[in-house]
Structure 1
Amino acid sequence: MRLNTKVQVSNEDNGCYAKIVMDPLDKGYGITLGNSMRRVLLNSLEGSSVTTIKIDGVAHEFGTIEGVKEDLLNIILNIKGIILKSHTADVKILRIDAKKKGEVTAGDIITDADIEIVNKNHKIATITADNVSFKMDLRVERGVGYRLAEQNHYEDMPIGTIPIDSNFTPILKVNHSVMDTRVGNRTDLDKLTMEIWTNGSIDAEEAVEKSSKILIDSFSLFTDYKHVVPLAPVLLEESKATGAEMDMDLTIEDLELSARSSNCLRKAGIAKVSELVVKPMKELMKIKNFGKKSADEINDKLEQYGLKLKDE
């Protein structure tokens, strides 16, 4: 019987939050779709961020600015909190030229039609004296994921330019849950509920749409055989282990455990599934607040990947 799946969408907080309910789905598809969408939403969507700054009169990140309350390290921390929306793939250089006593905010950044500042009230620095000039250039790029400061160096970078860490991900959080549902006499069906929170640089529904297209493009590779190259026999043998290796590389966060179980594992220094499944059950039971309920929950999650906790 073909399922008549319905999709319900609610959008709140000026598009920064969306709740999506898909019902009904074939058994197992709730987890399959939910996990896939969550990964793409958190790891594959493009965003914009400041990658380097250059402040007049400052040569390095440990410098100070006369007449400014914050030290440079705190200013850099504040810069990282600026939320940008870019309408171009080009690198943009923005400018701050503040001369008045008081707070300097993201709203003081001089932009053009290609760049929008989402959180204009976000504080960058505080000028504490009159006749103080606070001038800064900010280099804005588009990217995916998180980039460390050392990765933001570029060719012919001017002296005095300071690379900073950049978070391009526009998604703050993604939750998904799967419940049993029924249609007529069929009770082996799934109901998927997803919640998405964004930083305001992208609409939550738009983020879901873009993530869906990324998945569709990826899955289309399985149906497009125009450029298929036969694998050598030795590679075919090696490929048998690939799926298991990928599952072992999952992080504890990927399992979406309860806060109690997740905190227990984190305090025990267990960060990956590969570290978890080799721990004997007796050793796990010695972790503070870790009990049978936590073990059962973890085994339920691991079962989705064909794994389980070590009995001895």
Structure 2
Amino acid sequence: MPWWPVHPDHIGSLLGGLMLELQPPTRHDWTVQDKVYGKLSMEPFEAGFALTVGIAYRRALLSAIHGAAPTWVKIENVLHEFSHLPGVMEDTLDIMMNLRKVVFTLHVNRPKILRLRAQGGSVVKASDFETDADIEVLTPDVVLATLDKDGVLEMEVCVERGRGYVSAEKREPEALPINAILLDADFSPVKRVNFHVEPVTEGRERLVLEVWTDGSVSPATAVGEASRILEDHFDLLMDFPEISPQEEAAERDDVRPRTELNENLFRNVDELELSVRASNCLKTANIRTIADLVQKSEAELLKTKNFGKKSLNEIKTILGEMSLSLGMRLDPEELERLRSQYERAYEA
């Protein structure tokens, strides 16, 4: 059989055809980009991959981007959401709904309390909040309430960072002020995401992604954060080092945190300065020591008869003062080791 020499310029194309490597997209372009809307195109994708990537981006953008939202409000002379303030046209529920329309940018990673006081025949707007460098009101024209000449509105609002949608029923702040009302919090700055796939050439596709935000985060920033979130999820599966079962067990032992000696674990719950109701509930649940108590979750305690959130907050406060918390996982062997260590220290 005759042998035909191959020209060097053709070697690359031949190898590329043999390896059949998947070609990732190499170009992107923001065809529209402003503060609240962006349109991004990425290409070329191999057939089917544009749809896969579009679905992943849409999911991450709608559920995982961090933002700021009001989480509770305290209105002077209002005891609950069904109260009505004299001289104020709106009901308390209307004011709460109006608060949720306000868009905030929080520049710190801690909750921020905003205060507002208005009186006498005026329209109260979001711009009336007293702000500083830590927080910005992006929708100052949102109307919160309308006052007549004798009306007075004084309130405090807590703005926090978070992600997704968290209903008031699922929130349980540690130190909620008296008469404060929890709000449903929509933290997501991304309001809408669309995408579609267009053919480019034979076997190649273009992904067109549209993103709408509330202005607290730009579409480009939101897409960048979504990319990092997706990358973090796939990083775990980038490499599978081969380790022996013995090495894996040793690694788990090294990572597992050891419980520090806390002598309070071995005290009887009767020694705690609890209310009569909370103390009786713990006896009903057969919880004798603080070690028994800290291994219970909040949900487990709330299932105990006559045990409510007031008793729960009371117990959480007392445990916090001891550097303990509910939901701790105490290994029985580790607990016995601590007990022996405590008894030896006590005898010494």
| Common topology (TM > 0.5) | yes
In the other structure, the counterpart of 1:56 is: 76
In the other structure, the counterpart of 1:153 is: 172
Structure with more of its chain in strand, by fraction: 1
Deviation string 1:73-104 (CA, Å, 9 cap, x unpaired) is 11111111111111111011111111242211
Query: Distance between the aligned counterparts of 1:228 and 1:216, measured in 2?
Result: 24
Query: Distance between the aligned counterparts of 2:24 and 2:173, measured in 1?
Result: 53
Identity value in percent = 36
Query: Distance between the aligned counterparts of 2:241 and 2:173, measured in 1?
Result: 38
In the other structure, the counterpart of 1:99 is: 119
Q: 1:229 to 1:49 in 2, by over 3 A?
A: farther
Decide whether the 8 Å contact of 1:15 with 1:200 is kept in 2: yes
Decide whether the 8 Å contact of 2:88 with 2:152 is kept in 1: no
Decide whether the 8 Å contact of 1:53 with 1:163 is kept in 2: yes
Q: Could you say what secondary structure the match of 1:95 adopts?
A: strand
In the other structure, the counterpart of 1:207 is: 222
Per chain length, whose mean CA-contact separation is higher, i.e. which structure has more relative contact order (CA < 8 Å, sep 6+)?
A: 1
Structure 2: gaps (5+ residues) = 1-15, 17-22, 246-348
Decide whether the 8 Å contact of 1:93 with 1:137 is kept in 2: yes
Shift of 1:226: 6.4
Decide whether the 8 Å contact of 1:51 with 1:140 is kept in 2: yes
Instruction: Report the aligned-residue RMSD.
Output: 1.9
Structure 1 residue 22 and structure 2 residue 42: aligned?
A: yes
Structure 1 residue 5 and structure 2 residue 30: aligned?
A: no
Decide whether the 8 Å contact of 2:168 with 2:184 is kept in 1: yes
Decide whether the 8 Å contact of 1:15 with 1:205 is kept in 2: no
User: Residue 28 of structure 1 aligns to which amino acid in structure 2?
Assistant: G
User: Residue 82 of structure 1 aligns to which amino acid in structure 2?
Assistant: V
Query: Distance between the aligned counterparts of 1:62 and 1:75, measured in 2?
Result: 11
Decide whether the 8 Å contact of 2:63 with 2:163 is kept in 1: yes
Decide whether the 8 Å contact of 2:25 with 2:42 is kept in 1: no
TM-score by length of 2: 0.61
Query: Distance between the aligned counterparts of 1:126 and 1:94, measured in 2?
Result: 19
Residues 197-236 of structure 1 aligned to structure 2 (within 5 Å): 197-225=212-240
Decide whether the 8 Å contact of 2:62 with 2:190 is kept in 1: yes
Q: 1:49 to 1:226 in 2, by over 3 A?
A: farther
In the other structure, the counterpart of 1:137 is: 156
Deviation string 1:169-200 (CA, Å, 9 cap, x unpaired) is 10110000012221xxxx01111101000011
In the other structure, the counterpart of 1:194 is: 209
Shift of 1:154: 1.5
Structure 1: gaps (5+ residues) = 231-312
User: Residue 205 of structure 2 aligns to which amino acid in structure 1?
Assistant: D
TM-score by length of 1: 0.68
Query: Distance between the aligned counterparts of 2:79 and 2:87, measured in 1?
Result: 17
Which aligned runs of 4 or more in structure 1 are off by greater than 3 angstroms?
1-4, 224-230
Query: Distance between the aligned counterparts of 2:129 and 2:192, measured in 1?
Result: 27
Q: Considering only CA atoms, is the larger Rg found in Structure 1 or Structure 2?
A: 2
